[in-house]
Amino acid sequence: MASKAYDLILVGSGFASTFFLHRALQKLGPDARILVLESGRRDTHAWQLQNRSNSSIPYQDTYENRSPRKPWVYNPGFGGSSNCWWACTPRMLPADFELRSRYGVGRDWPLSYDSLEDYYCEVEDLMSVSGPSEDSPFPRSRPYPQPPHNLTDPDKILKKGHPTGFFVQPTARARVPTSRRGPCCATSTCRLCPINAKFTIQNEMAHLFEDSRVTLELEATAQQVLMEAGDAKGVIYRKGDRDIEVRGQAVALGANAIFNPWLLQRSGFKHPLLGQCLTEQASITLTADLDGVDNFQGSTSITGHGYLHYDGDHRRDRAAALIETMNIPNLRHEKGRWRQRMQFKFIFENLLETSNSVESTGQKPTTTWKGDTSYAKKSISIVRELAESFLKPLPVERIQVPGRLNQTESHILCTTVMGVDPNDSIVDAGLIHHTARNLLVLGGSVFPTASPANPTLTLSALSLMAADRFLS
């Protein structure tokens, strides 16, 4: 095996790694050497459009799933899941960081909302997030960089009926053009945006990887962190049929919540929670037929966020829910009433459940899913009641509740949880491994809970914070 030395080795090129890289390049000197290992290829936006796919590598082929009814969706390739996400960018609420302290359930995060607020603002600026600066459910210190998208007529009625519980969704789908992106075309095809209007690593941050200090190695699958005397000394990665050893002063794992714990397990790390508690939010999509109110006038695909059933004392017993209203045409099959229908989704938080896990059993990680927690199921069981409360301002003729949950929210979380105590967490508040102090773990795998909010903005903010702390 050949050996080469770097100041920093980053595993992955998605949100977590790229935002860490952004800050590292600001802090490190002109002679710094940074290696980024990406297991996938560089599938350009043009390639994605031509092939109608976000990746040339099927994610299902990268791990073994003992519970195939539960897919764990991500995007292998340069830019990671920024290629396939829907660009929803809510912040978590302050209470999300203090579940145990406030409601006696779950875990507290080892950091607060206030400690992340500046980083939230910075990520929103970097993503050119569109949002309601003067009407927000979470505390803000400065305005969003872009104005909010237009609500639909049903959204406007909901806002009037729930003035403190319904808001325009913040999103990294451009409302007005940026230097690299045009405005959202509202065609509801965000997974593969036809005009490249949503934020991706490829359209807004690819220049970071062209910095002379950065070496990007594609089709390079990390196999193991090299450990010596308790420190991370490098990484072994596979390229083609060769195993290559690279040395580094520090290593940051930003793969995802399946591959981060798998790498740690293969590197000799042992901990009761390592790879345990694999989870994401649960969700269900409902449909309401409206009496005399037309829909689908919004300027993006998901327009509103309902917070009526998010925070409050009910979280002592059952999960919070965030509600998304959709500007996705789902026509009513009645003459003259085609647009008198709306879709909306309830997204429920989950807590840690050790029976859901990632294991290192061979050359691929193996995932096991036993199901959502009883905490989430309690709220799911009354979703019709919650929906009726939410829709009360609207003239609703009927609500259709499907018989099953959505298969996935495509948010893989909680397998290398952060915390204060090394006995019940893998990394500290700075995302540094408790025992290997030059090894960081980035991304959604460090989340101690799965709040209803899309985790992307939060995990990106965490990467900026971690880089500031580690490189200061």
Domain ranges across the chain: 5-471
Q: What is the pLDDT of residue 362?
A: 81
Q: Assign residue 430 a region: left if phi > 0, alpha if psi is -120 to 50, beta otherwise? A: alpha
Q: Where are the beta strands (DSSP E) in 333-471?
A: 341-348, 357-360, 365-368, 396-400, 439-441
Q: How confident is the model over 162-186, as a mean pLDDT?
A: 96
Candidates 255, 301, 268, 271; CA nearest to 412 is 255
pTM: 0.97
pLDDT in tens, 149-159: 999 999 999 99
- Give the residue from 41, 414, 94 showing the smallest Cα distance to 256: 414
Q: What is the pLDDT of residue 86?
A: 97
pLDDT of 415-460, one tens digit each?
999 999 999 999 999 999 999 999 999 999 999 999 999 999 999 9
Q: Label residue 4 by pLDDT band (50, 70, 90).
A: low
Mean pLDDT of 188-203: 95
Beta bridge partners of 418: 427
Confidence label for 3 from pLDDT (cuts 50, 70 and 90): low
pLDDT at 170: 98
The CATH superfamily label for domain 5-471 reads FAD/NAD(P)-binding domain (3.50.50.60)
Whether the pLDDT of residue 1 is over 80: the answer is no
Cβ pair 316, 452 in contact under 8 A: no
